[in-house]
Chains A and B, each alone.
Chain A
Amino acid sequence: MIGFDRRRVSRRMLLRSLGALSVAGIVSPLIAACGGGSNNSTSTSAVASTTSGGSTAVASASTGGGTPAASAAASGSPAAVASAQATSAPPPSGTKGGQVTVAQSSDATSMDPAHTTATVDSQIYSSIYNRLLVLDDKSNVVPELAVSWEAAADNMSWTFKLRQGVKFHDGTDFNADAVKATIERYLDPAQNSPRAGEIPYVTGVDAVDTYTAKVNLKQAFVTLLYSFAGTTGTMVSPTAVQKYGDDYARNPVGTGPFVFKEWIKNDHVTATRNENYWKEGLPYLDSVSYKGISDPTVILNGIKANNIQATYGIAAKDVASVKSDPNMQLVLKPSTSVSSLRLNNAVAPFDKKEIRQAVSWAIDRAAIEKALYFDTGVPVNSFLGPQNLGYDKDITLYAKRDLDKAKQLLTAGGQPNGFSFDAQTTNSSESLKLAQAIKSQLEDIKVTMNLQLLDGVTLLQKLVDKQFQASFVTYNGGVEPFQGFNRFFYSKSTIDVYGYNSPDFDALLLKAAATADQTERVKLYQQLTDMLSEDCPWVFLRAPAQTELFRKEISGYVFNPDGVLHLETVSIKS
């Protein structure tokens, strides 16, 4: 098993999985794509930004073997999670008709979920496709194409009961064979799909009967449901895949509320209403369009002029003006990402816990949030933000800046007169702002932080190569934090770039890996975050906001913590 795990963590896989991290300050692809002064930062963010899918994209790195051993998992509680509750019927309100244009930072890259993790694509998939499962607004996994599910007693397989009477847009029946074909296509080495890394322990799918699919695992994988509630759960039509072959990426066929109509490269993707959608009465809109526009100012003006009806990823500085605009509705929620100053715990001076803690105490998170981000996000002092499972709001460490404590800790750590270190950051204006503010705050405890400006790709590579003392990175781990814990802080993680080594943490993580019961697992996650806040392997800074912007005429929109605009319930008020 382990041997298999250690297979090919090629440089490419690594980089790809690192892509799931967005680099510090890049709050959204939108900002990133225009904020940076250099092309490099733009391209990074393009790789970097992944949403729900991206959450687990990280998994491909942890596939590298850092995962708590299967044995531990096998001994775990044989729990079964089931949810028989079908999705509640959609509100019958809403007028039919109308078109919504969603503006995003760039045009789509591929219509084939097997071959992209870009946010711009996930957005479009939410209209054309359905996933096996989805998140509700409280981040619980709820039924979509699968109506119920159950883990085997040994946790080595999951059985999904599928929704009946669902048809793909090309008339193909949605059934266990379709699930098998889709998932096994993601896993097919010939496809070289980034999705494979998001479901690392899945070995295959059995079609038990027409509407029952059994997903086989080679080791317990308690967070599988969250993978299937992300883009990896996207179901594609097996007939269409066969028919189009490599051209499938331009001819997508799903079960979603809208049917793919056209993709004018470098301009827009349009989909029209699926008249036979399995959710009765939905969708309301005649069509949806996704338009790539790199300049956020153009997008905002487009919304003012009603050429564009929706967008996401508004820069913090624009939030106030957008809020006061009567033509716009702003959705502002904490995102699932957290920005941190990652420290290299393996080398001086950050090999001492006191020094790391001193830096953390010297930072005034509230002041930064207010001044730089106009209180759009949330200051955090732990690995998890408010949108992640296991977030512990009661952690008081570092919550309020304490310079005296910081100085005491510096003395305790053997650096009473301060020290200097190099911190790497991308050269985008957003990340530079954060880095410079922190540099100024650290001056108050005589700690000098020298900024090294790098393009995003180089910055991520330096992390992998362990050529850093500190590095500003924003991580979007999705709702379920297991992969993040495992990847960054498990001492046997193969990409052990941070040098954090705590037997207590490891033991607790193994326990969490084997705990299928979510309430129990969340409790363990809380303990894990508490441990990380205390040991301070990274200096946790803030949870950026997730922003979505709509014209005032839009109604019926339901926010989803996966970061994707789900438009099936949306209608236009006349």
Chain B
Amino acid sequence: MLRSAPQAYWRWVLGRIWRVRLAPFSLIIVLIAIFMAIFAGVIAPDSPTHAELGDVLLSPSLHHPMGTDDLGRDVLSRIIYGTRASLSAGIVATGIGLTIGATLGLLSGFFLGPVDTILMRVMDALLAFPGLILALAITAALGPSLINAMIAIGVVSVPRFARLVRGQVLTLNDADYVVSARSIGARNMRILFRHIGPNMLTPIIIQVSLSVAFAILTEASLSFLGLGVQPPTPSWGFMLNQGRDYISQAPWLAIFPGVTIFLVVMAFNLLGDAVRDALDPRLRL
């Protein structure tokens, strides 16, 4: 009985999200993207990397719905495979940011004192850099590859999570149920993970959704600059850069990856907004 209470809560949350404007639309796009990433090998009509030199720069047709690129590769297939790089970058980078950021935020907010001061000053320093510039610098230092791009983007997202979690801990620390738990002798770990942790899930989920969007966009930017996914592995950002050279002869090379990046990033952003709208007690739907 007790166990079903959170489930009911989340069902209620989903129900509210669904009613936010554009939320179903963004949710569907996100689900399609995840589906494409997982089943790329099955649904992609062609190889994403094999050059067919007889078919270069074909305009969109029934056989190649998004045309072919300068090496005769099917653009649709490359976009489908490119989802893998984008989503994995989004998820892994956010995972890195969340794990490190939340841990630091918890420590900082719970113990306060010098730990808090030092950690937060470091976070401030990181926040002082524009996200993309910092990611560029880190990737340039580590060397160009998808993994390094993920690490870089993860590092960039750390301070956002750290500050968010720290703020939540500070607020929740004074909540009645935490004070009472402490008064009956609950240990720090129990208070952190049993009482404070679950109660700050909502803002974290919102931040995760926004962070994934940021990570996808940043990965595309890094790949555009040649610092992310290494060719011939497809990535949206790199395809966009490649298409730029042919913008007058073969505009589809740049349009389709561009539109894809736009849709997916927007979907994650809208989803984050929807979660926030759905859960914000001050808003009435």
Residues of A within 8 A of B (CB): 35-38, 315, 317, 321, 364, 367-368, 370-372, 427, 429, 432-433, 436-437, 439-441, 443, 451, 453
Question: What residues on B are CB-neighbors of A437 within 8 Å?
Answer: 51, 53, 71
Q: Does B197 contact A (CB under 8 A)?
A: no
CB-nearest residue of chain B relative to A370? B53
Q: Is the CB of B241 within 8 A of A372?
A: no
- A38, A441, A453: the one contacting B231 at CB < 8 Å is A453
Q: Is the CB of B249 within 8 A of A321?
A: yes
Q: Is the CB of A37 within 8 A of B49?
A: no
A sample of 13 inter-chain contacts (CB < 8 A) reads: A35-B245, A38-B227, A315-B245, A364-B53, A371-B71, A371-B72, A436-B49, A439-B232, A440-B49, A440-B53, A440-B71, A451-B230, A453-B226
Q: Which 5 A-B pairs have the closest CB atoms?
A: A440-B51, A371-B53, A37-B226, A367-B53, A371-B56
If the complex has contacts A440-B50, A453-B226, are A372 and B246 also in contact, measured as CB distance less than 8 A?
no
Cβ of B155 to closest chain A Cβ, rounded Å: 21
Question: What residues on A are CB-neighbors of B54 within 8 Å?
Answer: 367, 371
- B72, B144, B246: the one contacting A317 at CB < 8 Å is B246
Complex: A439 Cα to B70 Cα, angstroms = 15
Residues B115-167 near A (CB distance < 8 A):
144
Q: Is the CB of B241 within 8 A of A429?
A: yes
CB-nearest residue of chain A relative to B233? A451
Cβ of B146 to closest chain A Cβ, rounded Å: 12
Q: Does B225 contact A (CB under 8 A)?
A: yes
Cβ of A233 to closest chain B Cβ, rounded Å: 37
Question: What residues on A are CB-neighbors of B53 within 8 Å?
Answer: 364, 367-368, 370-372, 437, 440
Q: Does B18 contact A (CB under 8 A)?
A: no
CB-nearest residue of chain B relative to A443? B50
Complex: A216 Cα to B56 Cα, angstroms = 55
Complex: A433 Cα to B253 Cα, angstroms = 14
User: Which of B71, B144, B225, B230 has the most chain A CB within a 10 Å cutoff?
Assistant: B71
Q: Is the CB of A441 within 8 A of B51?
A: yes
Q: Does B110 contact A (CB under 8 A)?
A: no
If the complex has contacts A321-B249, A367-B53, A367-B54, are A433 and B226 also in contact, measured as CB distance less than 8 A?
no
If the complex has contacts A370-B53, A451-B232, A453-B144, are A433 and B225 also in contact, measured as CB distance less than 8 A?
no
User: Binding site of B, secondary structure by majority: helix, strand, loop or mixed?
Assistant: loop
Question: What residues on B are CB-neighbors of A370 within 8 Å?
Answer: 53
CB-nearest residue of chain B relative to A437? B51
Question: What residues on B are CB-neighbors of A429 within 8 Å?
Answer: 241-242, 245
CB-nearest residue of chain B relative to A320? B249
Question: What residues on B are CB-neighbors of A432 within 8 Å?
Answer: 231
Question: What residues on B are CB-neighbors of A368 within 8 Å?
Answer: 53
Question: What residues on B are CB-neighbors of A371 within 8 Å?
Answer: 51, 53-54, 56, 71-72
Cβ of B36 to closest chain A Cβ, rounded Å: 23
Given contact pairs A436-B231, A436-B232, A453-B144, enumerate 19 new A-B contacts (beta carbons under 8 Å): A35-B245, A317-B249, A321-B248, A321-B249, A367-B54, A370-B53, A371-B56, A371-B72, A429-B245, A433-B71, A437-B53, A437-B71, A440-B51, A440-B52, A440-B53, A443-B50, A453-B226, A453-B230, A453-B231
User: Which of B72, B226, B230, B242 has the most chain A CB within a 10 Å cutoff?
Assistant: B226
Complex: A37 Cα to B232 Cα, angstroms = 15
Cβ of A431 to closest chain B Cβ, rounded Å: 11
Question: What residues on A are CB-neighbors of B51 within 8 Å?
Answer: 371, 436-437, 439-441
Question: What residues on B are CB-neighbors of A35 within 8 Å?
Answer: 245
Residues B223-239 near A (CB distance < 8 A):
224-227, 230-232
Residues B189-242 near A (CB distance < 8 A):
224-227, 230-232, 241-242
Question: What residues on A are CB-neighbors of B241 within 8 Å?
Answer: 37, 429
Cβ of A110 to closest chain B Cβ, rounded Å: 30
Interface residues as binary, B254-271 with A (CB distance below 8 Å gives 1, 0 otherwise) = 000000000000000000
Cβ of A194 to closest chain B Cβ, rounded Å: 29
Cβ of B171 to closest chain A Cβ, rounded Å: 45
Question: What residues on B are CB-neighbors of A441 within 8 Å?
Answer: 51
Complex: A465 Cα to B137 Cα, angstroms = 27
Complex: A367 Cα to B54 Cα, angstroms = 7
Cβ of A485 to closest chain B Cβ, rounded Å: 32
CB-nearest residue of chain A relative to B227? A38
If the complex has contacts A37-B241, A317-B245, are A433 and B70 also in contact, measured as CB distance less than 8 A?
yes
Question: What residues on A are CB-neighbors of B230 within 8 Å?
Answer: 451, 453
Question: What residues on A are CB-neighbors of B242 within 8 Å?
Answer: 429
Q: Is the CB of A427 within 8 A of B226?
A: yes
Q: Is the CB of A37 within 8 A of B50?
A: no
Question: What residues on B are CB-neighbors of A453 within 8 Å?
Answer: 144, 226, 230-231
- A37, A364, A451: the one contacting B225 at CB < 8 Å is A37
CB-nearest residue of chain B relative to A436? B232
Question: What residues on A are CB-neighbors of B224 within 8 Å?
Answer: 37
CB-nearest residue of chain A relative to B237? A37
Cβ of B72 to closest chain A Cβ, rounded Å: 6
Question: What residues on B are CB-neighbors of A451 within 8 Å?
Answer: 230-232
User: Which of A315, A317, A371 has the most chain B CB within a 10 Å cutoff?
Assistant: A371
- B52, B70, B227: the one contacting A372 at CB < 8 Å is B70
CB-nearest residue of chain B relative to A368? B53
Cβ of A458 to closest chain B Cβ, rounded Å: 10
Cβ of A403 to closest chain B Cβ, rounded Å: 15
If the complex has contacts A367-B54, A437-B51, are A38 and B226 also in contact, measured as CB distance less than 8 A?
yes
Complex: A65 Cα to B199 Cα, angstroms = 75
Complex: A439 Cα to B72 Cα, angstroms = 13
Complex: A436 Cα to B78 Cα, angstroms = 14
CB-nearest residue of chain A relative to B53? A371
CB-nearest residue of chain A relative to B224? A37
Q: Is the CB of B56 within 8 A of A372?
A: yes
CB-nearest residue of chain A relative to B72? A371
CB-nearest residue of chain B relative to A453? B230
Complex: A334 Cα to B245 Cα, angstroms = 23
CB-nearest residue of chain B relative to A366? B53
CB-nearest residue of chain B relative to A439? B232
Cβ of B80 to closest chain A Cβ, rounded Å: 18
Complex: A9 Cα to B246 Cα, angstroms = 43
